């Protein structure tokens, strides 16, 4: 029985080590590098053959990637059938950002000290770090998107001390809110 296990293991290792040698498992298609030499040309020196080989080596990886891309496009066309127009994907326009000026940024969390232990925001949502922000609803209605230091926040809450140019970012813990502290930075209005 032990001899059978060793033989089976040796056969499996041999099979796995030989699979990259077969064309079906190769990284690149077989037979795509073809050099055409016209009949009657007298320039068959070793230098010209070497130049052709060097140019093939440098462009080989680029050509194989281009070939793979064209095969994918061709396969897509064949699967859809003739007469089907190729659809061009429209990219969604980037959201517009308008500077609102400099705001004082503070932080809060869901603890008893910061928010009285409330588990929901004024909008009825569960507050989320890197998403929820408290703002003066007279200036920014619920759902307004504001970009602060590269992160886009959504106005989902209001605070008793959040008035005018003061914004309160929700953090996951009281320590995070204290660590960030109070600072002033430029705020952008993000419009879709």
Question: For 7-58, how does the pLDDT look when each residue is reduced to its tens digit (9 = 90+)?
Answer: 777 777 766 666 655 555 555 555 555 555 555 544 444 554 455 455 444 4
Domain that holds residue 19: 2-28+46-79
End-to-end CA, the chain: 69
* Residue 39 belongs to a domain: no
- The H-assigned helical ranges of 21-150 are 46-80, 112-115
Give residue 59's pLDDT band: very low, low, confident or very high (50, 70, 90).
very low
What's the structural domain count of the chain? 2
* Residue 132 belongs to a domain: yes
151-166 pLDDT per residue, tens: 999 999 998 889 999 9
Residue 177 pLDDT exceeds 70: yes
Q: Does the pTM exceed 0.85?
A: no
| One domain, residues 104 and 61 | no
* Residue 131 belongs to a domain: yes
* 158 DSSP 8-state letter: -
* Residue 40 belongs to a domain: no
| One domain, residues 107 and 137 | yes
- Minimal CA–CA distance to 172: which of 134, 131, 135? 131
| One domain, residues 142 and 62 | no
| One domain, residues 57 and 144 | no
| One domain, residues 185 and 103 | yes
| One domain, residues 174 and 102 | yes
Residues written for the chain: 192
| One domain, residues 139 and 66 | no
Cβ neighbourhood burial of 125 (10 Å; 0-12, 13-18, 19+): middle
* Residue 34 belongs to a domain: no
| One domain, residues 61 and 137 | no
* Residue 17 belongs to a domain: yes
Inter-CA distances, 164 with 10, 22, 153, 178, Å: 75, 70, 17, 22
């Amino acid at each position: 029985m032990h001899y059978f296990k060793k033989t089976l293991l040796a056969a499996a290792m041999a099979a796995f080590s030989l699979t990259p040698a077969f064309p079906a498992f190769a990284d690149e298609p077989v037979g795509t590098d073809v050099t055409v030499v016209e009949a009657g040309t007298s320039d068959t020196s070793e230098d010209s053959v070497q130049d052709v080989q060097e140019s093939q080596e440098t462009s080989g990886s680029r050509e194989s990637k281009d070939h793979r891309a064209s095969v994918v496009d061709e396969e897509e066309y064949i699967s859809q059938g003739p007469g089907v127009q190729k659809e061009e994907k429209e990219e969604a326009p980037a959201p517009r950002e308008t500077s609102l000026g400099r705001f004082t940024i503070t932080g809060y969390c869901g603890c008893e000290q910061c928010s009285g232990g409330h588990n929901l925001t004024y909008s009825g949502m569960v507050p989320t770090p890197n998403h929820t922000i408290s703002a003066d609803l007279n200036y920014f209605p619920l759902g307004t998107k504001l970009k602060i230091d590269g992160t886009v926040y959504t106005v989902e809450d209001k605070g008793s001390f959040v008035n005018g140019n003061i914004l309160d970012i929700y953090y996951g813990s009281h320590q995070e809110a204290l660590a960030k502290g109070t600072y002033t930075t430029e705020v952008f209005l993000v419009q879709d």
